[in-house]
Amino acid sequence: MSAELLKTPLHAWHVEHGARMVPFAGYEMPVNYAGGIIAEHKQCRASAALFDVSHMGQLRLVGDDAAKALESLVPVDVIGLGVGKQRYAFFTNPGGGILDDLMVTRREHDLLLVVNAGNKAADIKHLITHIGHRCQVVPMPERALLALQGPKAVGALAHLNPDVPQLTFMSGGAFKLAGADCYVTRSGYTGEDGFEISVPDDHAVALARALFNVPEVKLGGLGARDTLRLEAGLCLHGQDIDANTSPIEAGLAWAIQKVRRPGGEREGHYPGASVIETQLRQGPSDKRVGLVGLERVPVRAGTTIVDGRGHKLGQVTSGTIGPSIDKPIAMAYLSADHAKPQQEVYAEVRGQKLPMRVTPLPFVPHRYFRG
């Protein structure tokens, strides 16, 4: 018998607002509301959309050695992260694969980590096993997480606290919102300006209601989050990246700071360092690329990509019709010699070879607020 699905503190709120609920990462989550995925997607690109991401894992690392300890599990610079600054990171395994990707924010007395819902339990175990003797690993199941995304998100949040607009992209701070003590970061996974708000779970509905009452804000579900992040060229763990994909193959080398690279002051000393450092020097044999379809047929995850003679080049990991650009878009891993921009390849869909063009990511420009 399958385990009963978990519910976020906003479950009844979603149902009340007409959400279509689906199982996702062990939770019952809203995939879309009455207006549909495309309307929610366009709402986020043009105005502001409110998403419940409380299924994600929030946890704290506490102790003087926390940053140094975390660096033993990720190839990014945690020690050099200033208070109130956030950084994208990934846990790697001995083969250089990505166990999970996560956000790390240094706060005055701890490191705040946000990990993927499906990997939450494994990540907590991984942290306790490897660095639990060096710092405290404190899960935060008592907190919900809301994402307010879009060009009008900053104005909407300023209605609740006029100091929030002081934040810039990948920074965070403590703010009072709708009577609750929240921790807000100016970040998200849509490619738009926006915020992620950690709120005590017993205040989550009141905060959602206060934000929803701002005229610019409408609700968005997982369906729109998926099309938004794909247009933004952002990876979904378990689909575009996994334990068999290295950060270099995935095009995430930008997230490995100079200080952690070969020749850097704190190079290596994380799982899979030798594999990742070799790929940094020599380049990977396969690369994640963007593809735009030249015919109006969606190309889904799992589709095989071939060359003009039918030789397999790789496989699609995410695909849809991009609502913002009204064209089929996909991300795929291709052998490096076929991963050059403008190269034409073919997707095998129901016995047809559909032409696609290798395109630089993202498909839609990022609009983060850097100040």
Split at pLDDT 50, 70, 90, the class of 56 is very high
> For the segment 106-123, what is each residue's pLDDT rounded down to a tens digit?
999 999 999 999 999 999
- Pure H helices in 213-361: 222-231, 273-282
> For the segment 23-35, what is each residue's pLDDT rounded down to a tens digit?
999 999 999 999 9
Counting beta carbons within 10 angstroms of the beta carbon of residue 201, is it exposed (0 to 12), middle (13 to 18) or buried (19 or more)? middle
pLDDT at 3: 76
Whole-model pTM?
0.97
Tell me the pairing of strands 48-52 and 57-62: unpaired
Cα–Cα distance, 363 to 290 (Å, whole number): 8
pLDDT at 343: 96
- Residue type at 133 in one-letter notation: H
Answer whether residue 198 shows pLDDT above 70: yes
Answer whether residue 1 shows pLDDT above 90: no
Domain spanning 285-360: CATH 2.40.30.110:
yes
- Residue 327 near residue 296, CB atoms below 8 Å: yes
Cα–Cα distance, 196 to 166 (Å, whole number): 15
Fold of 11-57+142-231: Gyrase A; domain 2 (3.30.1360)
Counting beta carbons within 10 angstroms of the beta carbon of residue 337, is it exposed (0 to 12), middle (13 to 18) or buried (19 or more)? exposed
Cα–Cα distance, 258 to 254 (Å, whole number): 9
Q: What does the domain layout of the chain look like in residue ranges? A: 11-57+142-231, 285-360
Q: Which two tokens stand for residue 128?
A: 């306790």
CA proximity to 287, closest of 251, 262, 257, 234: 251
Answer whether residue 298 shows pLDDT above 70: yes
Answer whether residue 70 shows pLDDT above 90: yes
Query: Mean of the pLDDT values across residues 365-370?
Result: 98
Q: In what side-by-side order are the strands of the sheet with 217-219?
A: 172-177, 180-185, 194-200, 143-149, 48-52, 217-219
Split at pLDDT 50, 70, 90, the class of 224 is very high
- Is there a shared CATH topology between the 11-57+142-231 domain and the 285-360 domain? no
- Residue type at 346 in one-letter notation: Y
Split at pLDDT 50, 70, 90, the class of 2 is low
With tokens 């080398």, the residue in question is: 253
